[in-house]
Amino acid sequence: MTLWLSVFAVTAANWVMKASGPLALGERRLPPRAVNVISLMASALLAGLIITNLGGAGWSDLDWQQVLGVGTAGLARALKAPMLLAVGCGMAATALLRHLLT
Amino acid sequence: MRVSNLASSSTRTTGGAFTDGVRLGTGPGAATFVLGLAYGAAASAAGWGGALPLVFSMLACSGSAQFTLLAVLPAGGAVAAVAAAVLINARYAVMSVALNDSLRGGRLRRALQAQALLDASFAVGHRGEGRFDVARLAGASIPQWAGWVSGTAVGLAAAPSAQLMHAFGADVVFPAFFLMLALDELRKSRQAIAAAILGASIAAALLFVTSPGNALLGATAAALIGAVHGRRPQRSVHEGHP
């Protein structure tokens, strides 16, 4: 029962957080300075997501083989590989490394 | 006649943007499938049964919150686990404020549209200059939701070991897709590059002292450089994706 309640509490909080901007602001528009901030939000968020995904809590998850795989995927993308193929290259590089080193 | 032509053209444009979003969301959708598979396997190993993790994935569709609840609940109790899971998703409140100017209708209708928000969709839907294509954002969320739910189901059914996922480099998928989306964002302006470098630095420093969720929330503060330097980014994302 506690488990179900916890799941529904997190789900409801998630919905409320996504709705909070429209509920608080309605049809009011943001000032230009705030729009400038928002235009940079995706870049800052994506950079943060990459770092937190690779580092984990207290940097305890940092794994150079994973970093190398992500770098390989980025390189493949920079060389105009399609997104899925680039990620596949990254996975293959990491998997190969792990296979060779175990 | 002219009005109906305009309406028809607008519907086609919205439909095209939605289809475009679905196409661009396919890659992140594949990544969420792999992550969902890991989540399903972990939930199965924790004894959560089959129905609850699947319902959770369908309703919340939030890897960070779902993994947090799964990890904290056994040791920290329900209140601490729910609080941690909510805090880790606090960035959605910031993203929701950012999205509001691009939504249409009254408060409730806007609030419903904002439910399509997901991390990768926020980036895919960003047209530049703080504006978002809501149809494109919603379209990008469809394959991610499908990937997350189907991944959870397969993970629950197959329960692959964490060692097997690690051996195949599954942990590369998510950060790699975020890197791809970041590369597209960085092409828009020098300010976007500066915000990304600052955001990465803030997250990197905060990881030493707080949880990844808080570090991620802190990273969004890097966007505040947009308030100091008033000049807007010059190119739209549509230039990169015709």
DSSP letters spanning chain B: -HHHHHHHHHHHHHHHHHHHHHHHHHHHHHHHHHHHHHHHHHHHHTT--SHHHHHHHHHH--HHHHHHHHHHHHHHHHHHHHHHHHHHTTHHHHHHHHHHTT--SSHHHHHHHGGG--HHHHHHTEEETTEE-HHHHHHHHHHHHHHHHHHHHHHHHH---HHHHHHTTGGGHHHHHHHHHHHHHHTS-HHHHHHHHHHHHHHHHHTTTS-HHHHHHHHGGGGGHHHHS-PPP---GGGT--
Distance from CA of A38 to the nearest CA of B (A): 5
Evaluate whether residue B219 is within a structural domain: no
Distance from CA of B8 to the nearest CA of A (A): 25
**CB contacts, 8 Å: B110 with chain A:** 21-22, 26
Number of domains in chain B: 1
**CB contacts, 8 Å: A75 with chain B:** none
Which of A38, A44, A50 lies at the smallest CB-CB distance from B178?
A: A50
Which of B85, B216, B223 lies at the smallest CB-CB distance from A10?
A: B85
pLDDT at B134: 95
Can you list the residues of chain B whose pLDDT is less than 50?
Answer: 1-9, 232-242
Cβ contact, residue pair B169, A59, below 8 Å: no
pTM for the model: 0.75
Evaluate whether residue B195 is within a structural domain: no
Evaluate whether residue B99 is within a structural domain: yes
Cβ contact, residue pair A36, B203, below 8 Å: no
Evaluate whether residue B211 is within a structural domain: no
Evaluate whether residue B215 is within a structural domain: no
pLDDT in tens, B189-241: 899 999 999 999 999 999 999 888 788 888 989 999 988 865 544 444 333 33
Instruction: Quote the domain boundaries for residue B111.
Output: 2-170
pLDDT at B188: 80
Evaluate whether residue B231 is within a structural domain: no
Evaluate whether residue B75 is within a structural domain: yes
ipTM metric: 0.86
pLDDT at B238: 38
